[in-house]
């Protein structure tokens, strides 16, 4: 029954991912080489002597395997990185260059002009200044919730799957229940019970994180289950390593791409969730995010008055930032599921072959 | 039929968890909802008897004489009798009556929009994923912007463009208020016209997710052996795409329905606010703004039960579509 297949230690995706790299001489990975050498995702790691033979594939030289763990540069990835970096810089440094977002002027509700690049609000506040501060606020809460939700999902998904047995059953039931209970209504109800004076940034972040970890916990659990029974994990356990070390050193490096992609999704979901909550007037008090901007635009009758410059930019920033993150995730997905990458590169190869033949 | 039984058991646990969460939230959080609620009730001209106080205390906590277990029991008994209290916002209407008048609006809107988005998205995803690497396929990542757009903002933009600038659709409400709600031609026509923009919002915002998921699965399915076999047999391309690749590729999309529906329901709650749609989302919001805790809890419970019900139906359907779920013990 047992084939020779199960004897050889198999790194999850690397072997397959190498195929296009082998055929295509212009595999862009060359440019990424220096980064790859110092990347922390090197599968060997400080795993001790026992882990070494298991993680060194005989047939494939190491660098190529490592390189395939980094995304290839595609036009869409470039677009995504540009969007994320540009909006990130705008949120981080924009507030230093714009005027006071709360300063009231007597030129209320004027369209974009030289003095106010994005026009003014009902009370003559500069929309661009507000946008800079609001972007910063939204990014902060997005990162905060992204980290918290990823930690929660990693705990329930990875730790549960590693322990197995009753703990796994219980954790997986818990995440499945949280998955089917709709998030935003729950968040709205919780915010409704908390008096506004107690509704701080951390409270909102905690509530958003508590309601959004379940989906990625399921993904991480599935991945962990497939890694948990590999030989090098067993070897590490036999060597008497403590559970947290086995998880951190043997299992976690294999999950890094998945973890990264789940983190990116968590940030998008958090920014969207917070925007919805703030738009309803239930966000953190005294915060200024893109959602609160839209809340004031809606309550200041921006829509009936036709003040598009007031309500279009905040939503556009959310959409573009989310798009940028999703595009980055596309490239991460190609690392997790090499079939996606093969489909792209093989088509390109065919096209080139057709051109050369002509 | 082990699969069906397991699913039913799981949803029973989920319902219990939702009911218990509903019981626990007001007791875990700061503030004294019962007093605020009763004060509001008195303002509206309601008389407060010791019985009504007890009923609200069972719902929202704050009763220190009773043990927590006894409170939980009273809460469950009241729930079983369908007694969710009286709404303060719509005094003296009962919470259950407020919900039963607004629930059909939301279920129809979200239901129709979700079905349209799912069929359209899965169909497009299958066509695009069938030929990966074409110009059409390389344009797919652009649709991620749809998945990242906040529902309510898309609603604002659509209202601005289609209702305010072009004047094609009404921007507020769920039907022409001069008409009588009921099953008559003019009313249904008006409801359709008023519901178009909210539905378009939901379809546009959820389409991208369905499409991307399907496209990616389709690409993965293409390299399966059974697709190769089908090709070798010389079957027509359309047959392979529809009956071999797409049928297998759609399974994860169906299995992931719970996540999609969660996003849609969350999005539509906020979207209803933009349109002042007479659905459950607007009611939830006015309940929160008026500290109408009884209505808030009732609505949360009903939304959760509706979502659980929809997921159960999809899960049972999945059991029919994917024979592997039956084969496994």
Which residues in chain A touch residue B167, judged by CB atoms under 8 angstroms apart?
none
Closest residue by Cα to residue B144 from A246, A84, A222: A84
**What's residue A6's pLDDT?**
36
Q: Give A-chain residues touching B296 at CB under 8 angstroms.
A: 189, 192-193
Instruction: Give the length of chain A.
Output: 358
Among B148, B273, B307, beta carbon nearest to A268: B148
Lowest mean pLDDT among B80-84, B151-155, B183-187, B296-300: B183-187
Answer whether A311 sits within 8 Å of B304, measured CB to CB. no
The answer for B 280-299 residues in CB contact with A (under 8 A) is: 284-285, 287-289, 291, 293, 296-297, 299
User: What is the per-residue pLDDT across A90-129, written as a single tens digit (0 to 9) for each?
Assistant: 988 888 888 777 777 777 677 777 667 777 777 777 888 8
pLDDT of residue A139: 93
Instruction: Tell me the DSSP string of A70-128.
Output: SPP--HHHHHHHHHHHHHHHHHHHHHHHS--TT---S-TT--S-SSSTT-B-TT--BHH
Residue of B nearest to A192 (CA): B288
Q: How many Å lie between the alpha carbon of B185 and the closest alpha carbon of chain A?
A: 30
| Residues of chain B positioned with their CB less than 8 A from the CB of A315 | 149-150, 153-154, 156-157
Task: Work out the average pLDDT over B150-155.
Answer: 89
- Return the sign of the alpha-carbon dihedral for residues B250, B254, B259, B263: positive
Q: pLDDT tens-digit profile of A268-323?
A: 999 999 998 898 888 887 788 898 998 988 888 878 887 888 888 999 999 999 99
**pLDDT at residue A66 in the model:** 56
pLDDT tops 80 at residue A355: no
Whether B281 shows a pLDDT value over 90: the answer reads no
Question: Whole-angstrom Cα distance, residue A130 to residue B107?
Answer: 37
Write down the pLDDT at residue A68: 58
Of the listed ranges A62-76, A97-111, B264-278, the one predicted with least confidence: A62-76
> Would you say residue A52 has pLDDT above 80?
no
Q: CA A13, CA A332: separation in Å to the nearest integer? A: 13
Q: Are A267 and A143 in contact (CB under 8 A)?
A: yes
- State the nearest Cα–Cα gap between A261 and chain B, in angstroms: 14
B221 at interface of A, judged by CB pairs closer than 8 A: no
Give chain A's domains with CATH numbers.
72-350 (1.10.3720.10)
Interface touch B144/A321, C-beta < 8 Å: no
Has residue A65 got a pLDDT over 50? yes
- Reduced to 3 states (helix: H, G, I; strand: E, B; else coil), residue B323 is coil
Give the mean pLDDT of A67-74: 66
Judged against a pLDDT cut of 60, whether residue B39 lies above it is answered with yes
Percentages (nearest 5) of helix, strand, coil residues in chain B: 75, 0, 20
Q: Is the pLDDT of residue A13 over 70?
A: no
Mean local confidence (pLDDT), B272-290? 86
Task: State pTM to two decimals.
Answer: 0.79
The pLDDT score that the predictor gives to residue A31 is 32
Contact A319 B150 (CB under 8 A): yes
Tens of pLDDT, residue by residue over B201-259, are: 999 988 888 888 888 888 888 888 888 898 899 889 888 888 888 888 888 888 878 77
Is residue B219 within 8 angstroms of chain A, CB to CB? yes
Residue in B with minimal Cα distance to A172: B10
Cβ of A185 and B269 within 8 Å? yes
Q: Give the chain A residue whose CA is nearest to the CA of B309.
A: A180
Structure confidence at residue B42 (pLDDT): 74
Mean pLDDT confidence for B41-60? 72
pLDDT in the model for residue A74? 78
What does pLDDT average to over chain A?
75
Q: Tell me the average pLDDT across A141-145.
A: 93
Contact B148 A319 (CB under 8 A): yes
The residue-averaged pLDDT of B68-78 equals 82
* Angle at alpha carbon of residue B214, lines to B209 and B215, rounded to 5°: 100
pLDDT, mean over chain B:
83
Least CA distance to B310: which residue of chain A? A180
Residues B92-103: tens digit of each pLDDT: 788 888 888 888
Cβ pair B156:A280 closer than 8 A: no
Would an 8 Å CB–CB cutoff place B217 in contact with chain A? no
Mean pLDDT of A171-181: 88
Average pLDDT (A78-99) is 88
């Amino acid at each position: 029954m047992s084939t020779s297949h199960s004897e050889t230690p198999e790194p999850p995706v690397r072997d397959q991912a190498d195929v296009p790299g082998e055929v295509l001489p212009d595999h862009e990975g060359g440019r990424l080489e220096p980064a790859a050498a110092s990347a922390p995702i090197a599968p060997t790691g400080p795993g001790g002597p026992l882990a070494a033979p298991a993680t060194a594939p005989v047939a494939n030289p190491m660098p190529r395997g490592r390189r395939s763990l980094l995304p290839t540069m595609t036009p869409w990835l470039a677009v995504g990185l540009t969007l994320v970096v540009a909006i990130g810089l705008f949120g981080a440094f924009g507030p230093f260059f714009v005027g006071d977002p709360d300063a009231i002027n007597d030129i209320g509700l004027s369209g974009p002009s030289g003095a106010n690049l994005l026009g003014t609000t009902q009370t003559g506040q500069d929309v661009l200044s507000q946008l800079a501060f609001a972007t910063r606020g939204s990014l902060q809460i997005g990162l905060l919730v992204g980290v918290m939700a990823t930690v929660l999902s990693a705990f329930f998904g990875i730790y549960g799957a590693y322990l197995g047995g009753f703990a796994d059953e219980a954790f997986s039931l818990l995440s499945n229940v949280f998955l089917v209970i709709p998030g935003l209504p729950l968040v709205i109800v919780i915010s409704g019970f908390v008096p506004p004076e107690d509704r701080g940034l951390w409270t909102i972040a905690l509530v958003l994180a508590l309601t959004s970890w379940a989906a990625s916990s399921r993904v991480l659990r599935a991945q962990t289950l497939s890694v948990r029974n590999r030989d090098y994990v067993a070897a590490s356990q036999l060597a008497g390593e403590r559970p947290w070390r086995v998880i951190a050193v043997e299992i976690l490096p294999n999950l890094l791409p998945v973890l990264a992609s789940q983190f990116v999704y968590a940030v998008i979901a958090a920014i969207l969730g917070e925007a919805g909550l703030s738009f309803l007037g239930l966000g953190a008090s005294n915060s200024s995010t893109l959602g609160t901007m839209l809340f004031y635009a809606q309550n200041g009758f921006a829509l009936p008055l036709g003040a598009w410059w007031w309500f279009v930019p905040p939503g556009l920033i959310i959409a573009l930032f989310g798009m940028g993150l999703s595009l980055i995730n596309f490239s991460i997905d190609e690392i997790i599921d090499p079939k996606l990458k093969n489909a792209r590169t093989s088509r390109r190869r065919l096209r080139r072959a057709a051109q050369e033949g002509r | 039929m082990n699969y069906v039984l397991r699913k039913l058991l799981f949803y029973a646990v989920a319902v219990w968890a939702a009911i218990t969460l509903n019981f626990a939230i007001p007791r875990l959080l700061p503030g004294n909802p019962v007093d605020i609620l009763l004060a509001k009730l008195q303002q509206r001209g309601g008389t407060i008897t010791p019985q009504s106080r007890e009923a609200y205390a069972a719902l929202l906590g704050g009763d220190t004489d009773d043990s927590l277990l006894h409170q939980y029991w009273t809460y469950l008994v009241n729930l079983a009798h369908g007694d969710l209290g009286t709404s303060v916002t719509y005094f003296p209407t009962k919470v259950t009556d407020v919900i039963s008048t607004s629930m059909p609006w939301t279920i129809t809107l979200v239901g129709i929009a979700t079905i349209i988005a799912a069929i359209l998205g899965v169909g497009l995803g299958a066509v695009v994923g069938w030929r990966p690497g074409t110009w059409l396929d390389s344009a797919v990542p652009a649709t991620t912007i749809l998945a990242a757009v906040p529902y309510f903002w898309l609603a604002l933009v659509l209202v601005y463009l289609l209702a305010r600038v072009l004047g094609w659709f009404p921007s507020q409400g769920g039907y022409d208020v001069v008409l009588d709600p009921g099953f008559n031609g003019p009313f249904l026509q008006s409801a359709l016209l008023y519901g178009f923009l909210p539905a378009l919002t939901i379809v546009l915002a959820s389409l991208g997710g369905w499409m991307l998921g399907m496209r990616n699965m389709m690409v993965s399915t293409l390299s399966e052996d059974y697709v190769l076999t089908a090709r070798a047999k010389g079957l027509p391309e359309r047959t392979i795409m529809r009956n071999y690749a797409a049928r297998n590729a759609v399974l994860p999309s169906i299995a992931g329905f719970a996540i999609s529906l969660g996003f849609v329901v969350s999005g539509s709650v906020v979207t209803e606010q933009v349109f002042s749609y007479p659905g459950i989302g607007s009611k939830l919001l006015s309940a929160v703004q008026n500290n109408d805790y009884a209505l808030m809890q009732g609505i949360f419970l009903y939304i959760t039960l509706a979502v659980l019900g929809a997921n159960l139906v999809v899960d049972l359907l999945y059991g029919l579509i994917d024979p592997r779920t039956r084969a496994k013990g």
